Amino acid sequence: MAGALLVALLAVATEVSFAALERATVPAGMRAIR
Amino acid sequence: MRALGDLLRWLTDPVNWQGSHGIPVRVFEHIELSAISVAVALLIAMPIALYLGHTGRAGFVAINVANVGRALPSLALLAFGLVIAISLGLGLGFWPTVFALVPLAIPPILTNSYVAIREVDRDIVEAARGMGLSEGQILRAIEVPLGLPLMLAGIRTAAVNVVATATLGALVAGGALGRFSSTGSHYRSTTS
């Protein structure tokens, strides 16, 4: 269960860090609409 | 409630946070495994997607072939990766897992990047061509910047898929965070 929790946390961290990367590299008017 | 208590006890036990089998080492192994797999997938998928997206040639076939990776179960890919790694003399653990994760990461990167390049307004591309830009310049200065949001979305999807699936590496004697789950499962089956 601890392993699953750590993997889930890491997946969320990956998602958040890529979202931050997208925010940093793409101009505001060109971001993908969600 | 007992399971949650056990979880908290395990997470707060200092023994689990140190040594070569501690949580920080396993997290680092997991990140290393995932990063290398996504990097290899990027090296394979991105040039193909950029070329096909720019030229518009055989895109449908390439996308459908790449999407076969989505249809294959991760465990089957792991078994396939194990066979390849052993036949190449790379052993158990790290490389079989990489061989299984790369086909998983290729479809979202390839599909999103291809669509990102194809969906760039053709009028802009034609205007750039009319101004004398070479095909390489059009790709670098027009198509990639305009398609970047969709390309990054594909890389993000691939990275999250790979991080979640890298857990299976423990089944082929790999490290990473899946090791905690497999060790716990073995412990439970031998003590109950």
List C-alpha distances in Å: B148 to A23, B73, B177. Answer: 11, 29, 32
Task: Output the pLDDT for position B186.
Answer: 64
Q: pLDDT tens digits for B115-132? A: 999 989 889 999 999 999
Contact: A7, B146; criterion CB under 8 Å: no
Q: How confident is the model at residue A31 (pLDDT cuts 50, 70, 90)?
A: low
Structure tokens that stand for B155 in this block: 């890389």
Phi, psi of B77 (to 5 degrees): -65, -35
Does the structure's ipTM exceed the value 0.90? no
pLDDT at residue B45 greater than cutoff 90? yes
| B8 in A contact zone (CB under 8 Å) | no
d(C-alpha B124, C-alpha B137), whole Å: 13
Q: pLDDT tens digits for A13-27? A: 988 998 898 888 887
Task: Output the pLDDT for position B123.
Answer: 92
- Residue of chain A whose Cα is closest to the Cα of B150: A32
Contact: A11, B163; criterion CB under 8 Å: yes
**Percent with pLDDT over 90 in chain B:** 41
List C-alpha distances in Å: B79 to A22, B28, B104, B127, B164. Answer: 34, 24, 14, 50, 18
Task: Output the pLDDT for position B94.
Answer: 84
d(C-alpha B97, C-alpha B175), whole Å: 10
Q: Which of A5-19, B11-25, B102-116 has the lowest mean pLDDT?
A: B11-25
| B10 in A contact zone (CB under 8 Å) | yes
- Residue of chain B whose Cα is closest to the Cα of A28: B149
